[in-house]
Amino acid sequence: MHKLILFILLTFGIIFCPSLFSKEDTLSFENYIINVLKYHPKANIAELNLKLSEAQWKSANGQFDPFLKAEYDDKYFDQKQYFQVLRSSIELPSYLGLTFNAGYDNTRGIFLNPENNTPNDGLGYIGVEANLLQGLLIDERRTAVNQAEIFEDFANNRRQIEINDLIIDASIAYYQWQSTHEYQLIIQESVDLARQYFENNLQSYLFGDKPAVDTLESFLALQDQLIMLQSNNVELVKARNNLNNFTWENDENITLNDGINPNRIELLSSSIISEDTITYVGNPLLEEKRNKINLLLAENDLKSDKLKPKLKVKYNALTSELNNNIPTFNINNYKWGLSFSMPLLFRSERGELEMNELKIKETELDLINYETSLKNKQKSNIETLEILNDQLQIVKENVNRYKQLLEFEKEKFDIGESSVFLVNKRQEKYIFSKLKVIDLSIKYNIEVLYNLLLSDQIENYFR
């Protein structure tokens, strides 16, 4: 019976592992970002960059794998063996630029090309090929390996850039949700106050203590607050739906329950990195441009080498007759040759080299420009943080002052020395000052994140 109940519960999904978005009624900013970094598809895509670089490194080094080749041709016509040709070989490229090879040929036939004749037991060889001019120090294979190593750093920087962008986008989505939720609480407080004023004025009017115009004015003030509450509720729904773009678990998008709310706004605690202490050595955006320059420099070495003539030398030591079924080599039996070629003007090669050097210059200028822009952004960020911090202190103090003014105005209204209009104005100032604290707090936190971003510390902050 117990097994049957357990089976039914499992079948209908009543037993499940609670997720971050279902086991608590609040979603903290830190836990939310950690979850984004762990489960969001963009975070997983960023990790794929590392695997892509590993695959590229494997592909580049695979060009130095041994290469086996074999071919067989046989022609038999009019009861005659015209020819029978068997060729097999293995090549082993090396990082030194030398290509080692070995092979075995066996040919026979009455119409065989004389240069292809081999002994009855066939002919084996072992040898080496080398480029003496173009390709001596660098070639396509070695360039591909060099670029694959650079691309590994490139992939790490690209991953970091995508992770940083994801953190910023996810943080802004959370802060929008958090601010509209805080707005909702404050505006609801304003609605409650306006409703209380209206009910008090209505009672006073019914008892003949207040004129009807005060009741009408307080009713209109209540309606204004209700409209503001409804408008903010629309923004809250939009912010929650936008946040759902970043709530994932186990490759599945999770929709936040309406009962889950953000934490109350707290200022991010972080040691602000000043302009004097910041370093740009590890900044991923700058490193990405430096990697691009290094890739172009590796390509430049290859294109410069193309300005040399091609001179290739080959040498193969040939086997002599089999001795006890063991092939032997004799220094008097060999095959060697030279091949030489070159364009007369090298215009194509010089044009390719010039275009590549212009790309290098362009990227270097782009690097200088971006580094300058980064320094100016950092300076602006630090100044903005200082201003926001000062504004926050002032506005927080003003909230208490506006609250006192509101209380004074209510007391004056109760004794007939004020009006609904003045009470509403005091209330507006009080509510707007509290909303201003939210705005400045959110702006401050976002600037802190940008400070961490510019100093390449944003991911470590949440790890």
In a domain, 179, yes or no: yes
Q: How many domains does the chain have?
A: 2
| 240 vs 25: which has the higher pLDDT | 240
User: In angstroms, rounded to a whole number, what is the distance separating the alpha carbons of residues 458 and 171?
Assistant: 11
Whose structure tokens read 């929008």?
176
Which has the closest alpha carbon to 87: 73, 100, 66, 99? 73
**Lowest pLDDT segment from 213-222, 226-235, 360-369:** 213-222
Please indicate, yes or no, whether residues 102 and 220 belong to a single structural domain of this protein.
no
Taking the CB of residue 386, how many other CB atoms lie within 10 A of it? Answer: 12
In a domain, 190, yes or no: yes
| 327 vs 301: which has the higher pLDDT | 301
Helix axes 284-305, 347-414, angle to 10 degrees: 170
Say yes or no to pLDDT of 300 above 70: yes
Please indicate, yes or no, whether residues 201 and 333 belong to a single structural domain of this protein.
no
Say yes or no to pLDDT of 274 above 70: no
User: In angstroms, rounded to a whole number, what is the distance separating the alpha carbons of residues 144 and 57?
Assistant: 8
Please indicate, yes or no, whether residues 416 and 268 belong to a single structural domain of this protein.
yes
Please indicate, yes or no, whether residues 330 and 428 belong to a single structural domain of this protein.
no
- Residue 454 has a pLDDT of 85
In a domain, 250, yes or no: yes
Please indicate, yes or no, whether residues 172 and 223 belong to a single structural domain of this protein.
yes
Whose structure tokens read 């039914």?
8
Mean pLDDT of 88-113: 92
Please indicate, yes or no, whether residues 208 and 316 belong to a single structural domain of this protein.
no
Q: Where are the beta strands (DSSP E) in 321-424?
A: 329-341
- Residue 81 burial by Cβ neighbours in a 10 Å radius (0-12, 13-18, 19+): middle
182-212: b (≥16 Cβ within 10 Å) or e: bbbebbeebbebbbebbebbbebbeeeebee
CATH code for position 44: 1.20.1600.10
- Residue 145 has a pLDDT of 94
Please indicate, yes or no, whether residues 362 and 434 belong to a single structural domain of this protein.
yes
Q: pLDDT class for 326, splitting at 50, 70, 90? A: low
In a domain, 399, yes or no: yes
**Lowest pLDDT segment from 73-77, 428-432, 455-459:** 455-459
- Residue 158 has a pLDDT of 92
For residues 59 and 148, the answer to whether their CB atoms sit within 8 Å is: yes
Mean pLDDT of 260-288: 77
In a domain, 81, yes or no: no
Whose structure tokens read 């037993």?
15
In a domain, 394, yes or no: yes
| 185 vs 421: which has the higher pLDDT | 185
| 210 vs 294: which has the higher pLDDT | 294
User: In angstroms, rounded to a whole number, what is the distance separating the alpha carbons of residues 107 and 143?
Assistant: 39
Please indicate, yes or no, whether residues 254 and 370 belong to a single structural domain of this protein.
yes
Please indicate, yes or no, whether residues 43 and 162 belong to a single structural domain of this protein.
yes
Mean pLDDT over all residues of the chain?
A: 87
Task: Report pLDDT digits (tens) over 169-228.
Answer: 999 999 999 999 999 999 999 899 888 888 887 887 787 777 788 788 888 888 998 999
Task: Report pLDDT digits (tens) over 373-420.
Answer: 988 998 999 999 999 999 999 999 999 999 999 888 888 877 878 777
In a domain, 16, yes or no: no
For residues 182 and 438, the answer to whether their CB atoms sit within 8 Å is: yes
Please indicate, yes or no, whether residues 334 and 277 belong to a single structural domain of this protein.
no
User: In angstroms, rounded to a whole number, what is the distance separating the alpha carbons of residues 21 and 247?
Assistant: 8
Please indicate, yes or no, whether residues 185 and 295 belong to a single structural domain of this protein.
yes
User: In angstroms, rounded to a whole number, what is the distance separating the alpha carbons of residues 184 and 172?
Assistant: 18
Say yes or no to pLDDT of 279 above 70: no
Say yes or no to pLDDT of 9 above 50: no
Domain of 259 in residue numbering reads as 30-61+141-300+349-462
pTM of the complete model? 0.82
Q: In degrees, to the nearest 5, what angle opens at C-alpha 52 toward C-alphas 48 and 56?
A: 175
Please indicate, yes or no, whether residues 112 and 211 belong to a single structural domain of this protein.
no
